[in-house]
Structure 1
Amino acid sequence: MNATDRTPADLLRSALAADPGRPLVTFYDDATGERVELSVATFANWVAKTANLLQDGLGVEPGDRVALLLPAHWQTAVWLLACSSAGVVADLGADPAAAEVVVSGPDSLEAARACSGERVAMALRPLGGRFPRTPEGFVDYAVEVPGQGDRFVPYAPVDPEEPALSVAGAEFSGAEITERARADAPALGLTGPGSRLLSGLPYDTWEGVSAGLYAPLATGGSVVLCRNLTLLGEEALAKRIESERVTTTAR
């Protein structure tokens, strides 16, 4: 990563320039058996399409708030980086009524209806599958995002000092996210490129999003992001750690 990187979107661009083919996010859901692995290039493509959806499809402007009612999931990680790319605030677990846009998983659709702005529904199905029937009052992310552009350019430069993330009652600018992520790396056992962190932490605290995305990204590492990890026995977990070449864990 480059010392000049000031936002999470900068970190992703540097990762893409350095080694686009390496794994960045490997996701497991131990309730469904799902496994998805995204290289830096594939992840960046999802981010670009989602940022284009935000900017052109949903009409967000810098400083707008996007309420993310989503679990720790590879698609949540995409939204976090897309929000950073577009200069809007990713608000994890926020009150939808206070946001310009809400993005909801299947379990929080009723709460998401409090948003008077644009509403996006996420089925969170394997391979990014769509809802069998789009929930009323929402657009289906899996329907809308494939047609978006593969390159994203914000209409206005993103200010690293402006708010970029809100989680657990705390707000962080893009610059603070990158600085804190780098500072977290040693305690998480991330020593640089090749480090691979397995995280079972939810995305409802800074510690969860740092271990589950930002710190590995900031250090040139990768994350094995596990949802419902408590359903996995210790023997199966040890096998996963070995097979995924995990170098450090956060649980």
Structure 2
Amino acid sequence: MTATDRTPADLLRSALAADPARPLVTFYDDATGERVELSVATFANWVAKTANLLQDGMSAEPGDRVALLLPAHWQTAVWLVACSSVGVVADVAGDPARADFVVAGPDGIEAGRACKGERYALSLAPLGRRFVPAPPQGYADYAVEVPTYGDRFVPYAPVDPEEPALIVAGAEYTGAEIVERARGEAEALGLLGPGSRLLSGRGYDTWEGLSAGLYAPLASGGSVVLCRHLDQATEETLTRRIDTERVTATART
């Protein structure tokens, strides 16, 4: 991480330059038993492909709003940083009727139909699998479309860090504010630099959840063990996970 990083996309570029092989996001779903680990390089690859989908496939432009009707999930983290890369506003759990585009998981499909723009659906199945036999009516399947896009991303227009980048729980943040807040909160979350691993069971529907579950680990050079449905894990399972994942701090609620 460098002092010149002003957006989440900048933070990811710095992380990629520093140590592309280290883990960045390790995701658990305690309802399905899924575990996925993404290195910085793998995460950045997904971000680049998704940003190219936004820019070229959806014709999204800086200032457009994307309603993200998604839970705390590794693919949601990808979309958040991809939005930052393009300069579009990630509106977490936002009103689809007011959005230019919608990206929805299974629980957000019906609500997302209020969006008049393009809609993409994520199955959230293990390993990022596609919908079977077909995506919901009115939606394109992200898992089918995203692999066709390039592994490198260059925005058509520079992203202004002082423009809105995120809306969550009714509050709006610029890219620069996201970075500044995440850096300021990292130490309190127990992220003390490279090698720190924060286990987060918080949802992505609040700033606190987004900070612990993505932005603060990214801003500090640490990593996150992101847990969905953590309330379904036993204490024995959680203790074992903290040990095997070399967790250094937790944010369970």
TM superposition score category, shorter chain reference: over 0.9
What are the equivalent positions in structure 2 for 1:104-123 lying under 5 Å apart? Answer: 104-123=104-123
Which residue does 1:76 correspond to in 2?
76
| Cα-to-partner distance string for 1:120-154 (whole Å, 9 max, x where unaligned) | 00000111100011111110000000010000000
| Cα-to-partner distance string for 1:9-62 (whole Å, 9 max, x where unaligned) | 000000000000000000000000000000000000000000000000001010
Overall identity of the aligned pairs, in %: 78
Which residue does 2:56 correspond to in 1?
56
Q: How many residues align?
A: 251
SS where residue 27 of structure 1 aligns? strand
Give the CA deviation at 1:236.
1.1
What are the equivalent positions in structure 2 for 1:1-251 lying under 5 Å apart? Answer: 1-132=1-132, 133-251=134-252
| Cα-to-partner distance string for 1:69-116 (whole Å, 9 max, x where unaligned) | 000000000000000000000000000000000000011111000000
SS where residue 107 of structure 2 aligns? coil
Distance 1:9 1:142 in 2: 22
Runs of 4+ in 1 over 2 A off after TM superposition: none
Give the CA deviation at 1:186.
1.2
Corresponding letter in the other structure for 1:88: V
Corresponding letter in the other structure for 2:12: L
Distance 1:199 1:137 in 2: 34
Distance 2:181 2:115 in 1: 31
Distance 2:234 2:127 in 1: 25
Give the CA deviation at 1:233.
1.0
Corresponding letter in the other structure for 2:105: G
SS where residue 172 of structure 1 aligns? strand
Distance 2:159 2:168 in 1: 20
Distance 1:235 1:26 in 2: 19
**TM-score of the aligned structures, taking structure 1 as reference length:** 1.00
Distance 2:94 2:33 in 1: 29
**TM-score of the aligned structures, taking structure 2 as reference length:** 0.99
Unmatched segments (≥5 aa) in structure 1: none
Give the CA deviation at 1:7.
0.3
